[in-house]
């Protein structure tokens, strides 16, 4: 989703439930996408990545889905834990600018015990 000013979209889930965080992108030439997790007071931390020639990639408790037709990707977190509470960003590198990252607006995930 889009964030406006100080208001990040927030997803609130119960501990143990699955979480799905969404991201839309605009550049159809994008060939690589990354999900980052950012905890309060820390820098972004790499979670998982996916290349555009894939539509799904799985990690430990996380899965990223890529739908190039509608330019959408999602991050699924299985059995969400309190430690998953953070802001999640999707990002993509710009190849013609030293792989500088362009970040999406972010979603705040809150896990209720």
DSSP structure string for 2-33: --BTTB--EEEEETTS-EEEEEE---TT--EE
Q: For residue 82, count other CB atoms closer than 10 A to its CB.
A: 10
Instruction: For residue 1, state whether it binds another protein (rule: CB under 8 A).
Output: no
Reading the block at residue 68, the tokens are 């190039």
Reading the block at residue 21, the tokens are 């965080």
Q: Which is nearer to another protein, 41 or 113 (CB)?
A: 41
Show contacts with another protein in window 80-109 (CB under 8 A): 89, 91, 93, 97-106
Q: Using the rule CB under 8 A, which residue among 7, 16, 79, 81 binds another protein?
A: 7
Give contact residues for another protein (rule: CB under 8 A). 3, 5-8, 32, 41-46, 49, 89, 91, 93, 97-106
């Amino acid at each position: 989703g889009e964030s406006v000013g100080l208001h990040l979209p927030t997803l609130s889930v119960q501990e143990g439930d699955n979480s799905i965080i969404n991201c839309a992108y605009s550049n159809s030439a994008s060939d690589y996408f990354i999900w980052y997790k950012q905890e309060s007071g820390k820098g972004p931390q790499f979670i998982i990545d996916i290349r555009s020639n894939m539509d799904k990639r799985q990690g430990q408790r996380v899965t990223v889905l890529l739908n190039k037709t509608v330019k959408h990707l999602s991050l699924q977190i299985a059995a969400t834990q309190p430690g998953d509470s953070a802001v999640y960003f999707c990002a993509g590198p710009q190849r013609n600018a030293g792989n500088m990252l362009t970040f999406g607006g972010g979603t705040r995930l809150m896990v209720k015990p």
